[in-house]
Structure 1
Amino acid sequence: MPDDTHRFGDDRLTVTVSAHGAELCGLRDAGGGEWLWHAGPEWPRHAPILFPIVGRLPGDVLRHAGRAHRLTQHGFARDRRFTWVRRNGTGCALRLGDDEATRAAYPFAFALEVEWAVAGGALSCTVTVLNPGREVLPFLLGGHPAFAWPLPGTASAEGHSIAFPGVEALSARRLTGGLLDGVETIPLRNGVLPLEPSLFEKDAIVLQDFRPRELRYIAPGAALEMRWEGYSDFGLWSKPGASFLCLEPWCGTAAPLGWDGEFLERPGLTILAPGHSRRFRWEVRPERSLY
């Protein structure tokens, strides 16, 4: 249905957002290059919003106040239809609130507001989590945008890398069965991580309390600059053989292997008091030699 998507932009970017999951599903530059993964069969999503958890809980069960609730990987926001709040030529805003279905999986009152905007050739995503209830609101939140690998206008997936300013090595957590496991040190070359499919043979690279809050995804003739605020953690992910790279600002990560308890005691939670809110933002700026 036409009402399910909104297209907007400026003279450098054309963006498409869907009401389903408030998901970004198109990011095209002035030369016609598509920077976003096309949601192919290897992974049928573009850029889901992860809420109220990032990653998994043991057995996909949320335990709270003596009850067990089934809450699957990355939560439910990515599979819910948001309500349009505003749509115009340079952006849009959408909202999701709790209802009977969400409370069966996640017994908390919440509101999730997502704003997409284009300005000066950059796309931003601002997410605000609000607690309209009378009890505390525990949550995790993440962005999961998948960008093209290879980047538009580049000849192949070879020669791509990520530059992390001021970082000498990555202290990465790995996943076992979707849960946070051991620590691995990944060396960088002058702050640069060369990208190879083998990096993701052990699933995602999870960077906890990752300080730079910015990076550049680089290839010959193209680059994507990303900045974020409010998010404490970061994830890198791809599937070996698939033509995408996920750059994921997170506030919280998957549950640690071996932990299985009351949700309010889960490591890495953000807890909002009644009537309070918290804002998170990430921004990307695509650059090609055609500019």
Structure 2
Amino acid sequence: MDIHRLHTGEAEALIAATGAELQSLRLGGHDLLWEAGPPWPRHAPLLFPIVGRVKGDTLRHVGKMFPIPRHGFARDRDFALIEGTATTCTAELRDDEATCAAYPFPFLLRVAYTLTATSLRMDLALRNPGDAPLPASLGLHPAFRWPLAPGLPKAAHRLVFEADEPGALRRLDADGLLDPAPRPSPIQDRVLPLNEGLFREDALVFLEPRSRRLRFEAEGGPGLDLRWEGFPHLGIWAKPEPGPTFLCLEPWEGHADPADWDGDITAKPGSFLLAPGATRRWNFTITLIADSR
């Protein structure tokens, strides 16, 4: 596949072979996904086998060094279409000679999409076909239009979390590594009012927030209900640019290397080890709220 189109009624989603990336999502007459223009050329990349950066962009394993780009390689690799219908598709990525040059482990990653009239669900599964534990991280990076609809002020938007979030905020340093110093959370009474100033120091990183669900909304416009399972962390990011831009709401299992850590990938903070023959699963659902008033 180059592009697989999902459609039912007026709902439509486009999935690209490269990265199995969601490239367009239209629900209830609203185009919800960022169009991948300046200042950021992606829509909703899949982050694997790392989330964020490893120190020096180099993965370390048993004394050997493997160059690997920020967020890994899955977002730039072609996935194979396993099955596809009008409302579903499943694609997979397997290890090969090129992936082993950056990540010396066998793996099988599958991504499935299911479209309804008002929602899109994403199911992910990672299997370890090898005979040794598989160290990995996996994350999502969807970029939603901000404002959600033409004519809405950007500052009228907010995030509403399902639970109180008293935990600290973390930031990234100038090298894109996790700053060890916690910051006060900008979330108050489950609400994060949105403004471009939030992102002048790059992403907001919440390690193990209580919420597994939030709303992205603006009074008088459409809203999105986002929910996820299997992802313990959340990143929120935007380019602090004037004019229409995007807001990335990113469930992760994994995060950038801490700035004060430098070790083997099997001990990387935030990552997981998948036993031989085991499978790990995650899901993420985007549902349209027709009117946030």
TM-score by length of 2: 0.94
1:170/1:188 contact within 8 Å kept: no
Alignment of 1:71-82 (within 5 A): 71-82=68-79
Matched residue, 2:202: 203
Aligned residue number for residue 164 of structure 2: 167
Match of 1:24 in 2: 22
Q: Which residue of 2 aligns with 1:142?
A: 139
**Is it true that 1:228 corresponds to 2:228 in the alignment?**
yes
Distance 1:225-1:81 versus aligned 2 partners, 3 A rule? same
Per-residue displacement from partner, 1:137-179 (whole Å, max 9, x unpaired)? 0000000000000002542312000001221545211000110
Aligned residue among 84, 90, 105 for 1:108: 105
What percent identity do the matched residue pairs reach? 45
Aligned length: 287
Q: 1:279 aligns with which of 278, 281, 292?
A: 281
Q: Which residue of 1 aligns with 2:49?
A: 52
CA contact (8 A) 2:162 2:212 kept: no
Query: Of residues 77, 83, 97 in structure 2, which corresponds to 1:86?
Result: 83
CA positional deviation for 1:191: 1.5
Corresponding residue SS for 2:170 = strand
Distance (whole Å) between structure 1 residues aligned to residue 78 and residue 113 of structure 2 = 16
Q: 1:246 to 1:209 in 2, by over 3 A?
A: same
CA offsets per residue over residues 66-93 of structure 1, 9 Å max, x none?
1100011000000000000011111110
- Which shows bigger deviation, 35-44 or 170-179? 170-179
The DSSP-based 3-state class of the residue aligned with 2:184 is strand
Q: Specify which structure has the higher proportion of strand.
A: 1
The equivalent position to 1:41 in structure 2, one of 19, 38, 42, is 38
1:67 to 64, 72, 89: 64
8 Å Cα contact 1:153/1:222 also seen in 2 = no
Could you say which residue in structure 1 is the equivalent of 2:11?
13
CA distance in 2, matches of 1:168, 1:138: 29
Aligned to 1:179: 177
Q: Deviations over 1:189-237 (max 9, x none)?
A: 4321100000001100011112210000011221100000011101000
Q: Deviation digits for residues 117-136 of structure 1, max 9, x if unmatched?
A: 11351101111001011111
Report the equivalent of 2:256: 254
Tell me how far 1:286 sits from its aligned partner.
1.6
Post-superposition CA distance 1:23-79 (Å, at most 9, x none): 000001232x21000001201000000000000001001111111000110000000
SS in 2 for 1:59: helix
Is the Cα contact below 8 Å between 1:204 and 1:235 reproduced in 2? yes
> Which is further off, 56-65 or 112-121?
112-121
Assess, with a 3 A threshold, how the Cα gap between structure 1 residues 153 and 29 changes in structure 2: closer, same or farther.
farther
State how far apart, in whole Å, the 2-side matches of 1:140 and 1:124 are. 20
Distance in 2, Cα, partners of 1:205 & 1:30: 30
Are 2:249 and 1:212 equivalent residues in the alignment?
no
Q: Is the CA contact 1:11–1:121 (under 8 Å) kept in the aligned structure 2?
A: no
SS of 2:185 mapped into structure 1:
strand
The one-letter code of the counterpart of 2:282 is F
Q: Label 1:279 to 1:14 Cα distance change in 2 as closer, same or farther (>3 A).
A: same
Partner of 1:119: 116
Structure 1 segments of 4+ aligned residues over 6 angstroms from their partners: none
Alignment RMSD (CA, Å): 1.4
TM (norm. structure 1) is 0.95
* Ranges in structure 1 where 5+ consecutive residues have no aligned partner: none
Tell which deviates more after alignment, 91-100 or 182-191.
Answer: 182-191
Distance, in Å, in 1 between the alignment partners of 2:73 and 2:20 is 12
User: Partners in 2 of 1:26 and 1:162 — Cα distance?
Assistant: 22
Moved more, 5-14 or 44-53: 5-14
